Amino acid sequence: MKLFRYRLVLIEVTVSASIIFVIFSIHFTWNYYQETMDLSIETSIYHDMKNSRLALKNNEQSVKCMNCSHVVSNQSILIKTCPDYPPDLQGNLEMPDYVRELPPSLVELETKYQMKRNMANNCKARHKVAIIIPLRGRVLQLRSLLAHMHPILQRQQLDYTIYTITQAGNQLFNRAKLMNIGFSEAVNERKYDCFVFHDVDLLLENDKCLYWCPNDEDGPRHLSTYLDKRDYEIHSYNLEFCVSNAHKNMSVKVFGGISMFTEKQFTSVNGFSNLYWGWGSEDDDLFLRTWKKGYRVYDDSSRACSFQMMQHDRERRNEKNILRRLLIKHALDRQNNEGLNSLRYSVLSNNKTSIYTNITVDIGRPSARLRQLSLKFSYDKRSVRHFSCFQSLLWMSKNLIKETSW
């Protein structure tokens, strides 16, 4: 009887404990569910409010791109890349008459134009181009070129910078060395896809002549093939030079005026020679360097790249280089040791404006020995032209290869 009573009490205690456990479990589960629901609701409300604020902010700050189909926000700017071919080119242009009418002043040009960086007519430019112009004086021609080229380059949707490299002092002009300096300064400033070496007196007649480079695998381009001064005819001539001390003749086309290289191409040919003081043959030297490295120079076959040459008097300190034919003879012998890798100069000023960057430089002068030889040969030009390869090589080794002056 007692045993039965103990068992009954034990059963009652067990049942009571079970009931209490179930009640506590239900209470705990209900509280946890309530807290979870409250947190979920608060989180949902927070995200809804955040999304609403973002939508309102984007709606207020977004701007519509004129030539693009997307919306650009201040937080995440997604600019459409410019088309492969610029849509607003005009073709043949009405050429300005800057002989009868003065070009706009530099101040007027600054208020009207601005060089494009990264953007071109509200789209991302496909090509970054540095245009390098050797200069001394010729301000009217520079104003004419800037007024003419800025609208063209903007229609071509380029990210571009125009550099004028101004030679200080009154020594003989050295166009080639100024080109090398322009390349060196531009490379140090930013990454460009293409470098255009451009004379200041040439005005493009058709904006479908595109100012950008082909790939590195393609050769450099010569733009100024067709000039009004040459009746728009391609001119070629025999170029005499030495290869491995053997005399060679090559029929070449004119390579002066405007040429285009990628950074890799111009570096691989070691740039221009720095030894051409005065007028003439620095472009022939560059052509030979390009040929020696296996590049094929591309000319415009569509005749779109035609140019008008602005009339001007030759600068007094840019007379013909008497020694140019002698320098050409051994251009290839000097190529690896003289050019970009031997360039020396001092920057006197670097003035950046919205329409161009002018860098004024001191490039030194030809050595006293070179000036004496130039004076000597000016009285007997035949002695230079008729040097054999061996004679000219001997002369070069004695007088130019060991040249230490700038």
* Active-site choice (185, 193, 205, 282): 282
* Residue 162 DSSP SS3: strand
Active site residue 30: no
Which sign does the torsion angle of CA 325, 331, 337, 341 carry?
positive
Q: Express the helix, strand and coil content of the chain in percent, nearest 5 each.
A: 40, 20, 40
Active site residue 314: yes
* Active-site choice (201, 263, 285, 300): 201
Active site residue 309: yes
* Active-site choice (155, 216, 309, 362): 309
Burial 143-158, CB ≥16 within 10 A → b, else e? bbbbbbbbebbbbbbb
* Active-site choice (159, 185, 199, 338): 199
* Active-site choice (47, 314, 344, 386): 314
Active site residue 199: yes
Active site residue 231: no
* Active-site choice (283, 284, 300, 338): 283
Q: What is the DSSP string of 217-229?
A: TSPPEE-TTEEGG
* Active-site choice (117, 312, 385, 386): 312
* Active-site choice (250, 279, 371, 403): 279
Give the distance, in angstroms, between the CA of residue 255 and the centroid of all CA atoms in the same chain.
Answer: 20
Q: How many CA atoms lie within 13 A of 371 on its CB side?
A: 8
Locate 16 and state its tokens: 């009571």
- Name 151's Cβ contacts closer than 8 Å, sequence gap at least 6: 113
By the 10 Å C-beta count (0-12 exposed, 13-18 middle, 19+ buried), 248 is classed as middle
Active site residue 330: no
* Residue 103 DSSP SS3: coil
Locate 218 and state its tokens: 């393609």
Catalytic positions, written as ranges: 199, 201, 279, 282-283, 309, 312, 314
